[in-house]
Structure 1
Amino acid sequence: MQRIPFSKLGTADLYVDAVYESNGAPNLSGDVLSKLMNVGAMSGFRKVNVNNKKQIAYVVLESTNKHLDWLDHIDYDSGLIQYYGDNREPGRELHDTKQHGNKILKEIFEALQSGDRKSIPPFFYFESEKGRNRHFRGLLVPGSDKIKQEDLLIAIWRIKNGERYQNYKALFTILDVPHIKREWLNDLLVGEGYNSQYAPYVWKKWVDQGIYSPLCANDSVLNYRTPEQQMPASSDDVQKLKAIYTYFKNPYDFEECAMLIAQLMDPNIHNLVHTRFTRDGGRDAVGKYKIGTYCDGVDVEFALEAKRYSAKDSVGVKEVSRLISRLRHRQFGILVTTSFVAPQAYQEIKEDGHPVVIISGVDIIKILYEAGIKTKAEIEQWLKEKFPQK
């Protein structure tokens, strides 16, 4: 991983996945982005205007993921970023924020819809690293050609301390631009970003033609997840997963929970039937997945298997082979586990091309979060309501 020292921030280029280091100072003098990007020292939305004009030169987005209700997310496979706006506490109208971040989101997505891409400034996305260090993730443009237009910017409700309020959820595409020269940033500041000889080609192609060139993960580098990648990293998320594991007294009771988790993951799953008490050939549930429009879609059958394992116990080759052997012609499988799939078993699934979807511990926590079930207390309440103990 490339690391850029604090002393070089003022002249450094931007490299995707590079870490830009602070000087270690606990106050604003140690802020990285103000030195690197010529922006203010506060807020997740940091815009900078063209010199002596009201026009925005570019916007820096910073993700700290400290707000449980508003966790930003990068999908490395598709090159999409889900980023939340800056109205993160009750008491303000959706667009009435200190840094006007939501107002910026509203304006740029309106410009995107009208085709006025030249008026949309570049966005640079950073994530918090250890201390005050910052990790550069890429050059962003709003929207995607893989998502319906009405889903690109959504105002969603949250409740905090009994008060309802709204915030934006926005979708951006990370462009396939691994290196951004300092000269382009300088040209952006004087209003010559589009005309600059240093402007990235794929960014100009998007501006001119609306063509998205996302920075996607290369499947040939890593096509299966390690045990660490399949399990929660934070202690809070570990406790949430443990709460699910301990709530169910035996593996059979977890099966209906696994079914509901799969349905929360994808609304196209339907007709999911628990088969524990029938001659099911060893499958825990069977269902259908709708592809296409509702009036003329195609249903694909699948089998689901649930594994209530502790965090230290893996789903191995034997269990995976059991599921694969029970898949019928033109079926796929879904494996839901509170643990992880062992490396050899996971590797065999991918390398042999078996149609099996893995929902591991970290996936369960993310699926529940996306469904609005975010804290350990909320998970425990959800379990009691959906799966009352007999």
Structure 2
Amino acid sequence: MDALYAGGTRGNKGDDPICKLIPGVGNMGGFRYAGSLAKGTVRLAVLYTSGNDVDWPDHLDRQTGTFTYYGDNKRPGQDLHTTSRRGNVLLRDVFQASHGTSAERAGGVPPFFLFEKAATAGGAVRFRGLLAPGGPNMTPDDELAAIWRSTEGQRFQNYRSHFTVLDHARISRAWIQHLLNGGDPLSGGCPDVWRSWVEGRVYRPLLAPSTTVIRTKADQLPNDAVGQSMLAAIRDYFRGHEHDFEACAVDIWRLMAPNTGAVDVTRPSRDGGRDAVGTYNLGPAANRITIDFALEAKCYAPSNAVGVREVSRLISRLRHRNFGVLVTTSHFHKQVQEEVHEDGHPISLICGRDIIDALRQHGRTSVAAVQQWLTQSFPRH
């Protein structure tokens, strides 16, 4: 788990170390598998992600063990299931089998191994874990969904899938070889977490809570040119009308917290803030309870950090509500983060990078897409 495997330095496909670690899976593409997909004899599969495709943002949430992976129909002009590597066919068949009997899971769902391009020179990769399709808190519709995208006026579909990283630190060479030889996947050194998932669809995710609670300015702003331009487009749209950013901040919060209920935007206050109050829904639809929250939004330039004064105002309003949300197109001062965490204030601090990550995960991956969303969702009166 998280071990780095060095690649070559010749600058060609031969640098790839995955095909040496797991012979027979090939050295190209995001989907790699041993066996025949057409014959239903895929024995194991590798998912490889570069982590650099902003249009299709594969994402590993280390705190929850959830991995989001996009299929291989990434350009218009072909059907969802007719890609050259047939990766989307693999996703379709695997997720269907995952909801069958234990025998159907054993025969129709190969173990998945996740590798990520390493941020080092050469073709090095990092092993991120053993994956099972789906997750403990997802509906079947959440696990695998065909989503629409548009490129140069042409619409097309691709899959968005969710996997769970299982809590197992080391995959034995013996089990890999046993799988490649066509052996029973539940023997030959099979990890207990994989057996539990196959036999009862029981997920034991690898949960790794973050120890880094104070983010630097660089950590809080997009680190790529497109992301920076997307954030600038939001600021430019509300320039001179910064108070109107409140409604936009509410929609951004809904992307991150879809169980958010009714939200009321209040009038601008004397100190220049403009707030919203809302409810968050918990429990089953037939018998839900709601908790209250307060939200504030700051449409600031990247050079203008949210400081103690702004956060203190929100803290003072929490006496009558359960938690607070502060959304900014900029970043939070170090002192603000320290006080919120050390004093245990129930406040979610959402910075510029968080905004862009949320938009990308919901399909808005370009400046044009963000501008269209802004003009349609928040028209000027």
Common topology (TM > 0.5): yes
Instruction: Report deviation, 1:323.
Output: 0.7
CA contact (8 A) 1:283 1:323 kept: no
Stretch deviating more after TM superposition (311-320 or 141-150): 311-320
1:61: which partner in 2? 47
Identity %: 44
For the residue of structure 2 that corresponds to 1:171, the secondary structure is strand
Rounded Cα–Cα distance in structure 2 between residues aligned with 1:297 and 1:318: 35
1:247: which partner in 2? 237
For the residue of structure 2 that corresponds to 1:314, the secondary structure is coil
For the residue of structure 2 that corresponds to 1:334, the secondary structure is strand
For the residue of structure 2 that corresponds to 1:94, the secondary structure is coil
CA contact (8 A) 2:57 2:361 kept: no
CA contact (8 A) 2:68 2:161 kept: yes
Rounded Cα–Cα distance in structure 2 between residues aligned with 1:371 and 1:181: 37
Q: Tell whether 2:7 aligns with 1:22.
A: yes
Give a deviation string over 1:281-303, Cα, whole Å, max 9, x none: 96611122222334432222211
Aligned mate of 1:124, from 97, 108, 113: 113
Amino acid at match of 2:277: V
Give a deviation string over 1:244-283, Cα, whole Å, max 9, x none: 2233224423223222322333332232222124789966
Stretch deviating more after TM superposition (154-163 or 247-256): 247-256
CA contact (8 A) 1:281 1:326 kept: no
Rounded Cα–Cα distance in structure 1 between residues aligned with 2:184 and 2:343: 47
Q: Tell whether 2:83 aligns with 1:93.
A: no
Rounded Cα–Cα distance in structure 2 between residues aligned with 1:295 and 1:181: 47
Q: Tell whether 2:22 aligns with 1:37.
A: yes
Stretch deviating more after TM superposition (173-182 or 272-281): 272-281
2:227: which partner in 1? 237
Give a deviation string over 1:28-64, Cα, whole Å, max 9, x none: 22122222221212211000129xx962221011112
For the residue of structure 1 that corresponds to 2:319, the secondary structure is coil
User: Which 5+ residue runs of structure 1 have no aligned equivalent?
Assistant: 1-15
Distance 1:152 1:342, change over 3 A: same
Instruction: Report deviation, 1:193.
Output: 5.4
Amino acid at match of 1:207: V
For the residue of structure 2 that corresponds to 1:127, the secondary structure is strand
CA contact (8 A) 2:300 2:328 kept: yes
1:152: which partner in 2? 143
Rounded Cα–Cα distance in structure 2 between residues aligned with 1:54 and 1:356: 49
Amino acid at match of 1:246: D
Amino acid at match of 1:28: K
CA contact (8 A) 1:184 1:193 kept: no
| Matches for 1:294-373 after TM superposition, within 5 Å | 294-373=285-364
1:205: which partner in 2? 196
Stretch deviating more after TM superposition (40-49 or 254-263): 254-263
Aligned length: 372
Distance 1:105 1:280, change over 3 A: same
Rounded Cα–Cα distance in structure 1 between residues aligned with 2:362 and 2:48: 24
Rounded Cα–Cα distance in structure 1 between residues aligned with 2:188 and 2:217: 45
Distance 1:287 1:279, change over 3 A: farther
CA contact (8 A) 2:248 2:378 kept: yes
CA contact (8 A) 2:167 2:204 kept: yes
Aligned mate of 2:92, from 103, 106, 114: 106
Distance 1:282 1:377, change over 3 A: closer
Distance 1:330 1:381, change over 3 A: closer
Question: Over aligned residues, Cα RMSD in angstroms?
Answer: 2.5
CA contact (8 A) 1:227 1:340 kept: yes
Amino acid at match of 1:21: A
Distance 1:264 1:146, change over 3 A: closer
Instruction: Report deviation, 1:106.
Output: 1.3
Give a deviation string over 1:58-91, Cα, whole Å, max 9, x none: 1011112454432211111210111111122222
| Matches for 1:187-198 after TM superposition, within 5 Å | 187-192=178-183, 194=185, 196-198=187-189
Instruction: Report deviation, 1:183.
Output: 2.2
User: Which 5+ residue runs of structure 2 have no aligned equivalent?
Assistant: none
Rounded Cα–Cα distance in structure 2 between residues aligned with 1:161 and 1:40: 32
Distance 1:289 1:200, change over 3 A: same
For the residue of structure 1 that corresponds to 2:113, the secondary structure is strand
Rounded Cα–Cα distance in structure 2 between residues aligned with 1:26 and 1:117: 39
Give a deviation string over 1:145-198, Cα, whole Å, max 9, x none: 111123211111222232222211111000111222222211211123535453
For the residue of structure 1 that corresponds to 2:209, the secondary structure is coil
Aligned mate of 1:377, from 368, 374, 381: 368
Q: Tell whether 2:257 aligns with 1:271.
A: no
For the residue of structure 2 that corresponds to 1:95, the secondary structure is coil
